[in-house]
Amino acid sequence: MEVWRLLRTWSGAPGYNMALDEALLLGSARPTLRLYTWEPEALSLGYFQRARDVPNLERAHAAVRRLTGGGAIHHAHELTFSITAPLEHPLYAGEVRGSYERVHAAIADALATFGVHAELRGTSALQSDREGTGMCFEHSTDLDLAWSGAKGVGSAQRRTKGRVLHHGSIKLDRSPLDASVAAIRDVAPSATLEQVAERLLASFASRFGVEFETAEPSKAEGARASERTSHFTSNAFVHRR
Protein backbone atom coordinates (compact mmCIF):
# COMPACT_ATOMS: atom_id res chain seq x y z
CA MET A 1 0.00 0.00 0.00
CA GLU A 2 1.29 3.45 -0.89
CA VAL A 3 2.22 5.70 2.02
CA TRP A 4 1.69 9.47 1.72
CA ARG A 5 3.17 12.11 3.97
CA LEU A 6 0.62 13.92 6.12
CA LEU A 7 1.37 17.46 7.29
CA ARG A 8 -0.92 19.22 9.75
CA THR A 9 0.03 22.90 9.97
CA TRP A 10 -2.64 24.72 11.90
CA SER A 11 -2.88 28.52 12.26
CA GLY A 12 -0.29 29.31 9.61
CA ALA A 13 0.45 32.90 8.61
CA PRO A 14 -1.03 33.65 5.15
CA GLY A 15 2.28 34.17 3.38
CA TYR A 16 3.81 31.08 4.98
CA ASN A 17 0.83 28.95 3.98
CA MET A 18 1.34 29.80 0.33
CA ALA A 19 5.12 29.55 0.53
CA LEU A 20 5.00 26.09 2.09
CA ASP A 21 2.68 24.81 -0.63
CA GLU A 22 5.14 26.17 -3.19
CA ALA A 23 7.98 24.36 -1.42
CA LEU A 24 5.98 21.12 -1.43
CA LEU A 25 5.19 21.53 -5.12
CA LEU A 26 8.89 21.92 -5.94
CA GLY A 27 10.13 19.43 -3.35
CA SER A 28 9.98 15.71 -2.67
CA ALA A 29 8.47 13.37 -5.24
CA ARG A 30 6.61 11.60 -2.43
CA PRO A 31 2.86 12.39 -2.44
CA THR A 32 1.98 14.74 0.40
CA LEU A 33 -1.38 15.74 1.85
CA ARG A 34 -1.32 18.93 3.88
CA LEU A 35 -4.18 20.08 6.11
CA TYR A 36 -4.07 23.64 7.40
CA THR A 37 -5.81 26.75 8.68
CA TRP A 38 -5.01 30.47 8.63
CA GLU A 39 -4.04 32.98 11.31
CA PRO A 40 -5.06 35.68 10.73
CA GLU A 41 -7.87 34.96 8.30
CA ALA A 42 -6.95 36.15 4.83
CA LEU A 43 -8.19 36.68 1.30
CA SER A 44 -6.25 34.83 -1.38
CA LEU A 45 -6.39 35.92 -5.01
CA GLY A 46 -6.20 33.41 -7.82
CA TYR A 47 -2.91 33.46 -9.69
CA PHE A 48 -4.39 35.06 -12.81
CA GLN A 49 -6.86 37.44 -11.14
CA ARG A 50 -6.62 41.20 -11.38
CA ALA A 51 -6.67 42.74 -7.91
CA ARG A 52 -8.99 45.53 -9.05
CA ASP A 53 -11.62 42.94 -9.99
CA VAL A 54 -12.01 41.81 -6.36
CA PRO A 55 -13.92 44.48 -4.36
CA ASN A 56 -13.55 42.48 -1.13
CA LEU A 57 -9.78 42.90 -1.25
CA GLU A 58 -10.14 46.26 0.49
CA ARG A 59 -12.08 44.64 3.35
CA ALA A 60 -9.63 41.81 4.03
CA HIS A 61 -7.43 41.77 7.13
CA ALA A 62 -4.63 40.21 5.08
CA ALA A 63 -4.16 39.26 1.44
CA VAL A 64 -2.01 36.87 -0.57
CA ARG A 65 -1.91 35.61 -4.12
CA ARG A 66 -2.03 31.84 -4.69
CA LEU A 67 -0.06 29.72 -7.11
CA THR A 68 -3.32 28.19 -8.32
CA GLY A 69 -5.97 29.82 -10.48
CA GLY A 70 -9.62 30.56 -9.85
CA GLY A 71 -11.34 33.28 -7.86
CA ALA A 72 -10.62 34.92 -4.52
CA ILE A 73 -11.25 32.95 -1.33
CA HIS A 74 -11.74 34.24 2.20
CA HIS A 75 -9.88 31.71 4.32
CA ALA A 76 -11.94 31.72 7.50
CA HIS A 77 -14.05 28.98 9.10
CA GLU A 78 -12.65 26.39 6.70
CA LEU A 79 -10.33 23.43 6.35
CA THR A 80 -7.77 24.09 3.65
CA PHE A 81 -5.92 21.19 2.06
CA SER A 82 -3.25 20.68 -0.54
CA ILE A 83 -2.10 17.57 -2.36
CA THR A 84 1.30 17.54 -4.04
CA ALA A 85 2.44 14.62 -6.18
CA PRO A 86 4.19 13.80 -9.46
CA LEU A 87 2.15 14.32 -12.61
CA GLU A 88 2.42 10.59 -13.41
CA HIS A 89 0.73 9.63 -10.13
CA PRO A 90 -2.53 7.69 -10.69
CA LEU A 91 -4.48 10.46 -8.96
CA TYR A 92 -3.69 12.72 -11.92
CA ALA A 93 -3.87 10.11 -14.69
CA GLY A 94 -5.77 10.98 -17.87
CA GLU A 95 -7.63 14.22 -18.47
CA VAL A 96 -7.36 17.04 -15.94
CA ARG A 97 -11.06 16.92 -15.12
CA GLY A 98 -10.71 13.30 -14.03
CA SER A 99 -8.35 14.28 -11.21
CA TYR A 100 -10.86 16.86 -9.95
CA GLU A 101 -13.61 14.26 -10.05
CA ARG A 102 -11.50 11.80 -8.02
CA VAL A 103 -10.53 14.35 -5.35
CA HIS A 104 -14.06 15.74 -5.09
CA ALA A 105 -15.58 12.26 -4.84
CA ALA A 106 -13.40 11.58 -1.81
CA ILE A 107 -14.41 14.89 -0.23
CA ALA A 108 -18.08 14.14 -0.91
CA ASP A 109 -17.69 10.80 0.90
CA ALA A 110 -16.28 12.60 3.94
CA LEU A 111 -19.06 15.20 3.91
CA ALA A 112 -21.70 12.48 3.69
CA THR A 113 -20.69 11.29 7.17
CA PHE A 114 -22.01 14.64 8.45
CA GLY A 115 -25.27 14.26 6.52
CA VAL A 116 -24.10 16.70 3.83
CA HIS A 117 -25.28 15.56 0.39
CA ALA A 118 -22.57 17.15 -1.76
CA GLU A 119 -22.57 16.61 -5.52
CA LEU A 120 -20.77 17.98 -8.54
CA ARG A 121 -22.65 21.03 -9.76
CA GLY A 122 -23.05 19.64 -13.28
CA THR A 123 -25.17 21.74 -15.61
CA SER A 124 -27.37 23.31 -12.95
CA ALA A 125 -26.88 26.95 -11.97
CA LEU A 126 -26.35 27.72 -8.29
CA GLN A 127 -28.11 30.28 -6.13
CA SER A 128 -24.69 31.36 -4.84
CA ASP A 129 -23.43 32.48 -8.27
CA ARG A 130 -22.89 36.26 -8.53
CA GLU A 131 -21.49 38.48 -11.24
CA GLY A 132 -18.62 40.89 -10.71
CA THR A 133 -17.46 39.85 -7.23
CA GLY A 134 -14.33 37.95 -8.23
CA MET A 135 -15.00 35.47 -5.40
CA CYS A 136 -14.38 31.76 -5.96
CA PHE A 137 -17.49 30.65 -4.09
CA GLU A 138 -19.73 33.01 -6.08
CA HIS A 139 -18.60 31.57 -9.42
CA SER A 140 -19.09 27.86 -10.08
CA THR A 141 -18.12 25.29 -12.68
CA ASP A 142 -19.57 21.88 -13.42
CA LEU A 143 -16.83 20.20 -11.33
CA ASP A 144 -17.46 22.17 -8.12
CA LEU A 145 -19.01 20.47 -5.09
CA ALA A 146 -22.30 22.01 -4.02
CA TRP A 147 -25.22 21.40 -1.68
CA SER A 148 -28.30 23.37 -0.69
CA GLY A 149 -28.07 25.33 -3.94
CA ALA A 150 -24.64 26.79 -3.20
CA LYS A 151 -20.95 25.99 -3.65
CA GLY A 152 -19.25 24.56 -0.57
CA VAL A 153 -15.88 23.32 -1.85
CA GLY A 154 -13.55 25.24 -4.14
CA SER A 155 -10.33 23.83 -5.56
CA ALA A 156 -7.74 24.51 -8.23
CA GLN A 157 -4.47 23.08 -9.53
CA ARG A 158 -1.01 24.20 -10.56
CA ARG A 159 0.99 21.91 -12.84
CA THR A 160 4.67 22.58 -13.42
CA LYS A 161 7.88 20.63 -14.06
CA GLY A 162 6.15 17.26 -13.83
CA ARG A 163 4.51 18.07 -10.49
CA VAL A 164 0.96 18.95 -9.44
CA LEU A 165 -0.36 21.05 -6.56
CA HIS A 166 -4.08 20.68 -5.86
CA HIS A 167 -5.43 23.32 -3.44
CA GLY A 168 -8.86 23.11 -1.88
CA SER A 169 -11.09 24.93 0.64
CA ILE A 170 -13.85 23.13 2.52
CA LYS A 171 -16.24 25.53 4.23
CA LEU A 172 -17.38 24.77 7.76
CA ASP A 173 -19.19 28.09 8.09
CA ARG A 174 -19.76 31.40 6.34
CA SER A 175 -17.71 34.53 6.80
CA PRO A 176 -18.40 38.22 6.09
CA LEU A 177 -16.49 38.00 2.81
CA ASP A 178 -17.86 34.57 1.81
CA ALA A 179 -21.49 34.93 2.85
CA SER A 180 -23.04 32.92 0.02
CA VAL A 181 -21.27 29.60 0.54
CA ALA A 182 -22.78 26.25 1.44
CA ALA A 183 -21.40 25.31 4.85
CA ILE A 184 -21.08 21.99 6.67
CA ARG A 185 -22.56 23.53 9.81
CA ASP A 186 -25.77 24.34 7.95
CA VAL A 187 -26.42 20.58 8.14
CA ALA A 188 -24.23 19.54 11.08
CA PRO A 189 -24.04 22.52 13.49
CA SER A 190 -21.71 20.77 15.94
CA ALA A 191 -19.13 19.64 13.35
CA THR A 192 -15.59 20.58 14.36
CA LEU A 193 -12.52 21.23 12.27
CA GLU A 194 -10.80 18.21 13.81
CA GLN A 195 -13.72 15.95 12.89
CA VAL A 196 -13.77 17.19 9.31
CA ALA A 197 -10.01 16.65 9.03
CA GLU A 198 -10.14 13.09 10.37
CA ARG A 199 -13.06 12.07 8.17
CA LEU A 200 -11.35 13.56 5.14
CA LEU A 201 -8.26 11.48 5.92
CA ALA A 202 -10.36 8.33 6.24
CA SER A 203 -12.09 9.03 2.95
CA PHE A 204 -8.84 9.74 1.09
CA ALA A 205 -7.31 6.56 2.51
CA SER A 206 -10.29 4.49 1.38
CA ARG A 207 -10.75 6.07 -2.05
CA PHE A 208 -7.09 6.20 -3.02
CA GLY A 209 -5.91 3.04 -1.27
CA VAL A 210 -3.21 4.81 0.73
CA GLU A 211 -1.94 5.15 4.28
CA PHE A 212 -0.75 8.36 5.91
CA GLU A 213 2.47 8.92 7.81
CA THR A 214 2.42 12.03 9.97
CA ALA A 215 5.46 14.17 9.24
CA GLU A 216 6.93 17.66 9.34
CA PRO A 217 8.19 19.68 6.38
CA SER A 218 11.77 18.76 5.53
CA LYS A 219 14.54 21.20 6.44
CA ALA A 220 14.82 22.20 2.80
CA GLU A 221 11.05 22.75 2.48
CA GLY A 222 10.92 24.74 5.70
CA ALA A 223 13.87 26.89 4.68
CA ARG A 224 12.37 27.64 1.28
CA ALA A 225 8.99 28.46 2.80
CA SER A 226 10.56 30.87 5.29
CA GLU A 227 12.57 32.51 2.54
CA ARG A 228 9.53 32.94 0.28
CA THR A 229 6.87 33.92 2.85
CA SER A 230 7.15 37.66 2.25
CA HIS A 231 6.85 37.23 -1.51
CA PHE A 232 3.26 35.99 -1.30
CA THR A 233 2.10 38.97 0.75
CA SER A 234 4.14 41.59 -1.08
CA ASN A 235 2.29 44.45 -2.72
CA ALA A 236 4.14 43.73 -5.96
CA PHE A 237 2.82 40.15 -6.10
CA VAL A 238 -0.68 40.67 -4.69
CA HIS A 239 -1.32 43.63 -7.02
CA ARG A 240 0.71 42.41 -9.97
CA ARG A 241 -2.36 42.32 -12.21
Q: What order do you get walking across the sheet with 163-171 strand by strand?
A: 119-120, 145-147, 150-160, 163-171, 78-86, 32-38, 2-12, 210-214
First to last CA, the chain: 44
Helices (H), the chain: 14-26, 96-112, 184-187, 193-208, 219-233, 235-238
Helix orientation angle between 96-112 and 193-208, rounded to the nearest 10 degrees: 130
Of 136, 153, 191, 225, which is the active-site residue? 136
Q: What stretches of 60-205 adopt beta strand conformation (E)?
A: 63-65, 73-75, 78-86, 119-120, 145-147, 150-160, 163-171
Q: Return all residues near 33 (Cβ < 8 A) that are at least 6 apart.
A: 4, 5, 6, 7, 81, 82, 83, 201, 204, 212
Q: Measured in whole angstroms, how far is the alpha carbon of residue 40 from the centre of its chain?
A: 17
3-state secondary structure of 116: coil
- Catalytic residue check, 156: no
What residues are labeled active site?
A: 136
